[in-house]
Amino acid sequence: MKRIIFTIILLVESCLLVNSQDLLSMLDSIQNTEDQIFYTDATFKSIRLINGYTSETAAKNELVFSISHRFGNVNQGIYDFFGLDQSTIRFGFEYGLTDRIDVGVGRSNFEKIYDGFIKVKITRQSTGKRNFPVTITLLEGMSVKTIDFAYDDVDYPFSARLYYVHELFISRKFNEKLSLQLSPVIVHRNMVETQDDQNTVGAIGVGGRYKITNRFTCVGEYYYLLPGNTADNFNNSLALGVEIETGGHVFQIHVTNSTGMTEKAFIPETTGQWRKGDIGIGFNIIRLFSLK
Q: What share of the chain is helix, strand, coil (3-state, %, to 5)?
A: 20, 45, 30
pLDDT band at 188 (very low <50, low <70, confident <90, very high): very high
Tell me the mean pLDDT in the region 189-213: 93
DSSP string for 1-43: -HHHHHHHHHHHHHHHHHHHHHHHHHHHHHHHHHH-EEE---S
Q: For 37-290, CATH number?
A: 2.40.160.40
Q: What are phi and psi of 13, to 5 degrees?
A: -65, -40
Cα–Cα dist 63/290, whole Å = 6
pLDDT band at 22 (very low <50, low <70, confident <90, very high): low
pTM of the model: 0.85
pLDDT band at 33 (very low <50, low <70, confident <90, very high): low
Domain residue spans in the chain?
A: 1-35, 37-290
The CA-CA-CA angle for residues 151, 145, 82, to 5°, reads: 90
Cα–Cα dist 222/279, whole Å = 14
Please count the CA atoms within 13 angstroms of the CA of 44 that sit on its side-chain side: 32
60 secondary structure, DSSP code: B
pLDDT band at 205 (very low <50, low <70, confident <90, very high): very high
Tell me the mean pLDDT in the region 27-34: 54
pLDDT band at 56 (very low <50, low <70, confident <90, very high): very high
Q: What is the pLDDT of residue 122?
A: 96
pLDDT digits (tens, 9 = 90+) for 147-166: 988 777 788 899 999 999 99
Q: What are phi and psi of 232, to 5 degrees?
A: -70, -30
Cα–Cα dist 95/105, whole Å = 9
Mean of pLDDT over the chain: 88
Tell me the mean pLDDT in the region 43-69: 94
Indicate if the pLDDT at residue 139 is higher than 60.
yes
Percent of the chain's residues with pLDDT above 90: 70
pLDDT band at 126 (very low <50, low <70, confident <90, very high): very high
Indicate if the pLDDT at residue 54 is higher than 70.
yes
Indicate if the pLDDT at residue 6 is higher than 70.
no
